């Protein structure tokens, strides 16, 4: 497919995520027919797989943006550097992408939106079960309780942001919701 690329350098916006699933999918599709045929026959290049690849890349971009040290720099009035604040920052970046994708046709964005948010929650589950910052991980019951609390708080925040975006003065309402 055709990919548009920006010609202007955007050092703060464009961050290297390392490995791009979309790029790998395109590389595989460009293989000679006899090498790519099994992949084509098994549906690797389907629209839903392309959207899933885009969701993976978008999630990784959100993580890269949310990991910017400036968000947590005390000298700049940054957030407290702890797991919950880092989760909120990642979640906000994912929500921004999610809200933007709602403007696209559902058939072009549904899988991207749902997969991207699912990756956020899968990572939270891994973080809590394996341990954060080399601390011991949580057992299933404790993990379930913390995950439920995080999801409850997150969905309330997302609803507030959605309502602010739909208001008569979204800029002011978003500012109130974030501050």
Query: Which residues are within 8 A (CB) of 88 and not within 5 positions of it... i.e. 6 or more apart?
Result: 79, 157
Please tell me the pTM assigned to this model.
0.80
pLDDT per residue as tens digits for the range 93-121: 999 999 999 999 998 899 999 999 999 99
Give the pair of three-digit tokens for residue 125.
């589950």
Q: What is the DSSP string of 23-79?
A: HHHHHHHTS-HHHHHHHHHTTTTSHHHHHHHHHHHHHHHHHHHHT-GGGG-GGGTPP
pLDDT per residue as tens digits for the range 21-53: 999 999 999 999 999 999 999 999 999 999 999
């Amino acid at each position: 497919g055709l990919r548009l690329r920006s010609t202007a350098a955007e050092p703060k916006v464009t961050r290297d995520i390392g490995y791009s699933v979309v790029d790998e999918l395109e590389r595989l599709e460009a293989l000679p027919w006899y090498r790519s045929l099994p992949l084509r026959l098994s549906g690797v290049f389907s629209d839903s797989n392309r959207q899933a690849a885009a969701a993976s890349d978008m999630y990784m971009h959100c993580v890269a943006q949310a990991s910017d040290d400036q968000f947590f720099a005390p000298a700049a009035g940054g957030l407290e550097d702890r797991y919950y604040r880092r989760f909120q920052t990642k979640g906000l970046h994912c929500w921004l992408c999610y809200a933007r994708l709602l403007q696209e046709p559902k058939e072009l964005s549904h899988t991207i939106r749902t997969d991207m948010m699912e990756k956020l929650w899968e990572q939270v589950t891994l973080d809590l079960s394996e341990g954060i910052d080399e601390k011991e991980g949580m057992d299933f019951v404790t993990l379930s309780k913390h995950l439920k609390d995080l999801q409850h708080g997150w969905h309330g925040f997302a609803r507030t942001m959605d309502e602010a975006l739909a208001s008569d003065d979204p800029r002011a309402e978003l500012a109130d919701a974030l501050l």
